[in-house]
Amino acid sequence: MSNYAEDSRFPGPDPYAPLKDLPSFSLTSTDFEDGDKLGDSLRAPASISPQLSWSGLPEGTKSIAITCFDPDAPTASGYWHWSVFNIPVSVTSLPSGAGSTSDLGIEGVITLKGDSGEKAYFGAYPPEGHGPHRYLFAVHAVDVEKLDIDPDSTATVLGFNLYFHSLGRAILWGWSETK
């Protein structure tokens, strides 16, 4: 296992470096281990979102947000694969495939349109020959029950709001490459 921000195989920046340091908490998946190559089910076209479980949230957490970001995409702004928020704090895990619906099957949850144009999880899909890409699955502990964000907003707008409302952040990452 390597730290996503210190692995020299990946050309992109650490997208969380310019943000404030936040406490972490436990984040695991039965679909991959931290730093592993992602399996075919987590890649496009299958695009099955991974199982995720979290615990040890900071005191005062009132909801959860989840994002998946590729900082190694050949753009100046990376590539958003998934952004979902207003997950009740009582939810402590998501099953594999939950990201195929815009509300994760939970009332009040909102998934924003990712860079794929879909309001769902879009699997890893690095351009052929571009080298390996990281996929950072971040679970954010949020200090309000509901973020007031227009459901037609972008993942970047969610990220901006999370900067001001996150009490903690845990990151589980995997990588993929298309040769």
Parse the chain into domains and list their residue ranges: 26-176
pTM, 2 dp: 0.96
Q: Return the structure tokens found at 142.
A: 């949020």
Nearest-5° Cα angle at 170, 132 to 74 = 25
Q: According to the 3-state scheme, what is the secondary structure of 114-163?
A: CCCCCCCCCCECCCCCCCCEEEEEEEEEECCCCCCCCCCCCHHHHHHHHH
> If you average pLDDT over every residue of the chain, what do you get?
96
Q: Identify the burial level of 173 via C-beta atoms within 10 angstroms of its C-beta, where 0-12 means exposed, 13-18 middle and 19 or more buried.
A: buried
Q: Does 43 or 4 have the greater pLDDT score? A: 43
Q: What is the mean pLDDT of residues 77-90?
A: 97
Q: Return the structure tokens found at 135.
A: 């996929």
CATH fold of 26-176 reads Phosphatidylethanolamine-binding Protein (3.90.280)
**Using 50, 70 and 90 to split pLDDT, how confident is the model at 7?**
confident
The 10s digit of each residue's pLDDT in 157-172 is 999 999 999 999 999 9
pLDDT for residue 2 is more than 70: no
The 10s digit of each residue's pLDDT in 12-30 is 899 999 999 999 999 999 9
